[in-house]
Structure 1
Amino acid sequence: MKYTGTLILTFLMFMKMFSQVGINTATPKSTLDVNGDLALRKALSVGGTDVVNGDKGSVDQVLVSKGAGQPPVWRYANIPFMENSQYKLVNTYLKTDQTGITTLSNNVAASSPVTNNLNEDFDPAKWVKITDLSIPVEIKASQNKVTYQVQTGVELVNKVAGTGSSVDFICGIFKNNKLVALRPDGITAIDTAPTQSIFTLNYTEENVATGNYTVDVACRKISSSDVANNYFRIGVNIPTYGPTPILTNTSSNAFSLRSLLKIDIAELVTYIN
């Protein structure tokens, strides 16, 4: 016991005599410079003084540097620890629009053909864009998943009392004016009461090439049971309808039928040893 105490006292005196001590190095770069593995079997306290114990940290905390000349501190990590080959969300884009599409209404014939193919070019003679949903995006990693979510309200009013009317349409997602996703839908109105529905489209692309893109949402009318006798709008309400008397639409508004486009970009997590 006396021998151990003598060794400790000798080491402390040695530390005090020399400003820097090196273990396995002849040129120490700090007060204590260890060139080799360090095994720590119990707590690591930081930020203490001669009379106050340092902070030992808590479960799940990590040691964070505060810069040169400052003691490190224990902090909780606010980011999840990801496993290798998992996908990490790196960016989210979101836009809404209340202007919608009004140019596919009564007396506007359906466009043909009724089908579309992925990767075909945007054709303004068929498609109408929801202008304010245009989003510029950047893909930085080649291994990725890009998820698109579109939601918009649709409204149809039949002009003729006592009859029904229907419209079929397609809405799609264009990336740099190339069609990457689409879904058809339809709406039917009975009598002259306004009828609403919600259109949704969810789609995920994998391993999109890196670069900058512009993403748009566009829709087209593909059939109508009575072209001349209905009002049809996407992403906005029909404020008034007739023919006589002209009535004010109180069952919906632009906010309730607004359009939304959300884009999530996730990148593959890889660790290199």
Structure 2
Amino acid sequence: MKNIISILLFMTGLSLSAQVGINTNSPKAKLDVNGDVNLRNKVVVLNVTDNSLSQGNNDQLLVSQGEGYPPIWKSLRIPEYEPNKFYLIFNNSFSDRTGVKFSDSEQSTISGRNLAFSKGASITSLPGFKKITGLTQDLSIFSDNSKTYFQFETVVQANLPSNGTTDISIDYACGIFVDDKLVNLRQRNLKASSASSTFITHNQIGVISNLSKGDHKVSVACSRLGSYRTASNVVLAIGTYAADNINSFITQSSLKVDVYEIPQVFNSITN
């Protein structure tokens, strides 16, 4: 009976007082407990949608919704990883409508391309390359065992004249860089055709294994390598347009990045 009366008095005091402190003389909430709390039975939360009391489910956490809102139960979803298997850890895609343009005077001065275009080459050693600004993005690697896939797509156009032969053309190259180091490169040739202002779709897929753990920056840069029988006013446009028979929506660039890793810290799988 004494215990019942004590509990009733405590609850009465709690309802009448704005703030009650246990082991503290300056409570900062309606009930402020300064010390350990041992719950031997259950915790229930008011469900404001139907005014019911919810005990939550197994493995759920009590999560705050911010000041003025009651907490709610939420499931913590941590993926379970099996050892020695790759999992998709990062996946994102980016786009850019600005692109890059090259006049006939902005042609690359690279000589010995077979030596210059090698894995790990610094972008500073490749004169004439311009970055497509909107495709420069950050990514993070968390494991020593990873594979990072890149898929780059854009449209390349030049204001070439209509020509029935293919002896008027421009060589160009686009590279994918990680931390300004070349990891993938494609060279192509844009040829004049029977229609003026020829344009083509450029697709490029690359992969790099075992980037170092930590933060990295991926970027895409392109260059005008060589021109054959072109006039001085011919502009090469990559990810943008050189003539108004197409527009920036058609020529926009995109980059997709997927990172697969073998997690080094994982939860064991149970049946």
Q: Which TM-score bucket, shorter chain as reference?
A: 0.5 to 0.7
User: What residue is the counterpart of 1:98 in the other structure?
Assistant: 98
> 1:253 offset after TM fit, Å?
1.5
User: Is residue 234 from structure 1 mapped to residue 238 from structure 2 by the alignment?
Assistant: yes
**Which structure's CA Rg is the greater one?**
1
2:79 to 81, 106, 115: 81
Which of 152, 155, 158 aligns to 2:157? It is: 155
Taking the aligned partners of 1:195 and 1:55, their CA distance within structure 2 comes to: 66
Verify: 1:268 aligned to 2:259, yes or no.
no
Aligned residues: 225
Q: 1:65 is matched with which residue? A: 62
What TM-score comes out, normalization by structure 2 length?
A: 0.62
CA distance in structure 1 between the aligned counterparts of 2:208 and 2:249, rounded to whole angstroms: 30
CA separation in 1, counterparts of 2:267 and 2:87? Answer: 16
The Cα offsets for residues 88-120 of structure 1, whole Å up to 9 and x where unpaired, read as 4246363424142223x4894774334321112
Distance 2:107 2:71 in 1: 69
Are 1:216 and 2:219 an aligned pair?
yes
1:238 is aligned with what amino acid?
A: A
Counterparts of 1:72 and 1:218, CA distance in 2 = 49
Q: Quick one: which of 233, 237, 253 aligns to 1:259?
A: 253
**3-state DSSP of counterpart to 2:133:** helix
With normalisation by structure 1, the TM-score equals 0.62
C-alpha separation in 2, matches of 1:220 and 1:151 = 15
Q: Distance in 1 between matches of 2:201 and 2:152?
A: 10
Does the Cα contact within 8 Å between 1:171 and 1:182 map onto a contact in 2? yes
**What is the correspondence of 1:169-184 to structure 2 with a 5 Å cutoff?**
169-184=172-187
Return closer, same or farther for 1:272/1:83 CA change in 2, 3 Å cut-off.
closer
User: How far, CA to CA, are the matches of 2:79 and 2:215 in structure 1?
Assistant: 28
Asked if the contact 1:130/1:217 (under 8 Å) is kept, the reply is yes
Cα RMSD between the aligned structures?
4.2
Segments of 5+ residues of structure 2 without an aligned counterpart are 8-35, 65-69
Structure 1: gaps of 5 or more residues: 1-12, 20-27, 34-43, 240-248
Residues 80, 153 of structure 1: alpha-carbon distance in 2 compared, 3 angstrom cutoff: farther
**One-letter amino acid matched to 1:263:** V
> For 1:19-76, what per-residue CA distance to the aligned partner results, in whole angstroms no more than 9, with x for missing partners?
9xxxxxxxx963538xxxxxxxxxx99659xxx9965878xx8522247xxx996545
CA distance 1:46–1:128, shift in 2 (3 Å): same
- Displacement of 1:192: 5.0
- Using the TM superposition, give the Cα deviation of residue 197 of structure 1 relative to its aligned residue in structure 2, in angstroms: 1.1
Q: Distance in 2 between matches of 1:211 and 1:184?
A: 31
Percent identity over the alignment is 21
- The one-letter code matched in structure 1 to 2:60 is L
The question of whether the paired residues in 2 share the 8 Å contact of 1:150 and 1:260 is answered with yes
For residues 109 and 128 of structure 1, what CA distance do their matches in structure 2 show? 8
